[in-house]
Structure 1
């Protein structure tokens, strides 16, 4: 019988393994994993999942920082025809519980070190899900990934998978406060992956970094692009400037992707001069434009070629690319659309705007999500006039380059994470002393935008910034907790009683200066 033709995410690994199984696929510290082993181990995990009572289409969540085992588990889930639901490992237990329940998950794969932490020791069992520990190294004890795959076949599971089937749900914070699950098919992610490979010219000889979290769409799409081309992926568990510099040098990384703040930390680190970074051919920065002075120094002292990549979870990245040969441009220039999708500027009536006109940035293409899981209203709202609406304002310049002009959504983008202001406000309002809270993002050299709160207390009540931050730790992730809380007597209001956040932003632009 002929094997059914498959164009799915799992096929990326299998095809590279067939071309050159002995080539290195993953590097992590002193460990190496070949394409043949990655293909076989992910096949084994797929067999385990299918033999455990789960069915194709079931949701499997993952809560883990970067590791080789993360990659094995993710591709095993996809090869089993199940739906991969990666969860941000920096979220609070309350937020993780919401996502797992909303996604209707049947199993959770969690990093063993994270699961053993006191904060998660009780929280994970309380989810009521079967738990498999994703342990690194030689840990093959009960309930681990290593034990699960032991003895399973290394060949592909006999499944007829559909490229248009739901492959993954990535949750992204929305302005309503609750995260929304962006559903992607195998086809939509593959479209982005192949576009990325072409855009940055990945070849088999490349070594790509995985410094950003693999549970985010940006890093996963770049890592998958590398795996599709037979390149190696150098994995960092987290960001520590000294450790990452050592990894870039040891693994002879050729293509690195990181946040502007990460590049700044590496540039300024005293150990940088002792590491040979000459293998770097391209450095991509994501999530935000780079300060011109920092970019100039990085191009002189870190890597001669820098590029900006942009995108959204709903439109698998990259959607817009700012190439190295245009880095003389300054300001919020985001570049041009990548090969996979169309990008336009639209007014509120659905009219596409020309050069010099400001409107909402919209996209369309095969990398678009299927919709938001269990949220048809939000799906319809974001697909008006046949385009995906980003909630960002932009403008084309005379040369056809996109410039970012602001945000329609009340969303704070801090350190590469999306933080809805309403989520933080709700947490602050849960404190018995707080009467009114307004949260905005203010310019910050390290975080791009810093979560900043302005709070009015109830008459006769007392609280300080430290106690309010401590209160927030119970419901918010670390990156969502305000960097600064100002306790004020009143807030600027409209005549109808709405808080004028634009006034707060304008009057406190220099709060974090210096």
Structure 2
């Protein structure tokens, strides 16, 4: 039996902890991140994350799960690096989730510590949740002193210079647990290794030709796998990140001109807002070499407008939490006649096929489930071996997406096996929303689907059958009921009352009839909500 040489293993390791550290050795004084008026170089970002990582170790945290409950910020990026450098596992949390969903993530992942923005800690439900779970709490930002029993991030990052933390975990060890939105109301925890994520970062850099000369516009949240890949892939190559904590079209247009942003990644609805903004004609966009989009199809007319007035090279990147993005890239500029649901071809290192339910690989023009193989595949779902096994049937990773290869080798995405709705870049579980609606005493039956929307890509639409003698219940009452129990992005954009839902003989709702019969519900000339 061949033995493992520990010295070689340490030298050859693949670790997310090394991304900023190695960038700092290559070009210490180069700007790594821009956030508003703030700028931080690679060496400073590396040193600050080392100090925070050392503080975590001083608190006894090595090999633990540590969450971030943060908007985009330099501190958030530093905290991610500190978690990896101290040999811990990162658990990103979607800040738009309701308190119950956040509690599920923190409890299910067995999180022991959390980095949280001060305004979020001020939310009573979140503060009570963190105290109830007994989490070590590091507070980011805020104008007031950190609450008693918590640690201020700035104090940790400005400690006396730390000694190098040495070799933390790497290779196939667990690096992060990122939660999906879930189709049954409870999110699945997706476990990734250092190697699987690092492979995705290299693939991202290669697929979009990133170099140290790029300035990458990062506006999507870092707790999403797509933005994490783009941001860390940029730092891996030595590029600079322009980081925004939210989307403001005027601010983004000004930043493109001021910072000479070369690679922009936005949702289709964001590009639409940029194109329609009155400042766009006067903005110098000549620095843009690439406009990337994802999470929703892009209308042909918008795509043509972006290519004409913003950037000639427009590409779609796809992937999923389980198969860290990107998995496929569609070069829209090379195929201007194709529809927005074309996913293109696999990135280098990833193999893609279309499979039927019996595991048979299908040819061009045949419809089946999109499956992948590659080094960016996840380790499995935490505490869910059955779901892990189901995702690995027949030796491929199963995406749950339906598609087919066209004659030219491009992948055409057709539908989702499950009724997951993507609205404004967020995944919405129809089953979860239906359960909330059915909890209202006036609701006898409910079905939720995603319908085309000119701003959100897809919008959540609910169809409700009232109980007898409940005619007084209206849309506003149900929307208020949903807002109390769901994240903002999960609340329906429309609730329609119907006499009955279309059903199969076996009693299952035929959602395709609801979709096909209401495709114009959110037509461009309708009032946006």
Q: CA deviation at 1:160?
A: 4.4
Q: 1:96-132, CA deviations, whole angstroms, 9 ceiling, x for partnerless residues? A: 1111111100011111223234664545434432221
Q: Secondary structure at the match of 1:173?
A: coil
Q: 1:111 aligns to what?
A: 117
1:117-266 matches, within 5 Å, as: 117=123, 120-135=126-141, 143-266=151-274
Q: 2:513 aligns to what?
A: 503
Q: 1:458-492, CA deviations, whole angstroms, 9 ceiling, x for partnerless residues? A: 22223211111111122211111110001222111
The range that moved more, 418-427 or 466-475, is 466-475
Q: Distance in 2 between matches of 1:135 and 1:223?
A: 21
Q: 1:512 aligns to what?
A: 522
Closer/same/farther in 2, CA of residues 367 and 152 from structure 1, 3 Å limit? farther
Is the 8 Å Cα contact of residues 140 and 147 (structure 1) preserved in structure 2?
Answer: no
Is the 8 Å Cα contact of residues 307 and 333 (structure 2) preserved in structure 1?
Answer: no
1:458 aligns with 2:458: no
Q: CA deviation at 1:430?
A: 1.5
Is the 8 Å Cα contact of residues 40 and 155 (structure 1) preserved in structure 2?
Answer: no
1:67 aligns with 2:73: yes
Q: 1:35 aligns to what?
A: 42
Q: Distance in 2 between matches of 1:212 and 1:336?
A: 24
Q: 1:24 aligns to what?
A: 31
Aligned-pair Cα RMSD in Å? 1.8
Q: 1:20-39, CA deviations, whole angstroms, 9 ceiling, x for partnerless residues? A: 10000000011000000111
Q: 2:372 aligns to what?
A: 363
Q: Distance in 2 between matches of 1:137 and 1:188?
A: 39
Q: Distance in 2 between matches of 1:487 and 1:160?
A: 56
Alignment size in residue pairs: 513
1:471 aligns with 2:481: yes
1:326 aligns with 2:334: yes
Q: 2:56 aligns to what?
A: 49
The range that moved more, 435-444 or 131-140, is 131-140
- Gaps of at least 5 residues in structure 2 are 1-5, 525-529
Q: CA deviation at 1:161?
A: 2.1
Q: CA deviation at 1:242?
A: 1.2
Q: Secondary structure at the match of 1:266?
A: helix
Q: Distance in 1 between matches of 2:313 and 2:505?
A: 51
Equivalent in 430, 439, 442 of residue 430 of structure 1 = 439
The range that moved more, 453-462 or 338-347, is 453-462
Closer/same/farther in 2, CA of residues 59 and 78 from structure 1, 3 Å limit? same
Q: Secondary structure at the match of 2:180?
A: strand
Q: 2:527 aligns to what?
A: none
Q: CA deviation at 1:136?
A: 7.1
1:401 aligns with 2:407: no
Q: Distance in 2 between matches of 1:205 and 1:137?
A: 35
1:487 aligns with 2:497: yes
Q: 1:379 aligns to what?
A: 388
The range that moved more, 23-32 or 490-499, is 490-499
Q: CA deviation at 1:69?
A: 0.5
Q: Which of structure 1's runs of 4+ aligned residues deviate more than 3 A?
A: 117-128, 136-142, 152-155
Q: CA deviation at 1:2?
A: 6.8
Q: TM-score, normalised by structure 1?
A: 0.96
Is the 8 Å Cα contact of residues 50 and 162 (structure 2) preserved in structure 1?
Answer: yes
Q: CA deviation at 1:320?
A: 0.3
Is the 8 Å Cα contact of residues 463 and 497 (structure 2) preserved in structure 1?
Answer: yes
Q: Secondary structure at the match of 1:226?
A: helix
Q: Distance in 1 between matches of 2:44 and 2:143?
A: 15
Is the 8 Å Cα contact of residues 465 and 485 (structure 1) preserved in structure 2?
Answer: yes
Q: 1:392 aligns to what?
A: 401
Q: Secondary structure at the match of 1:432?
A: coil
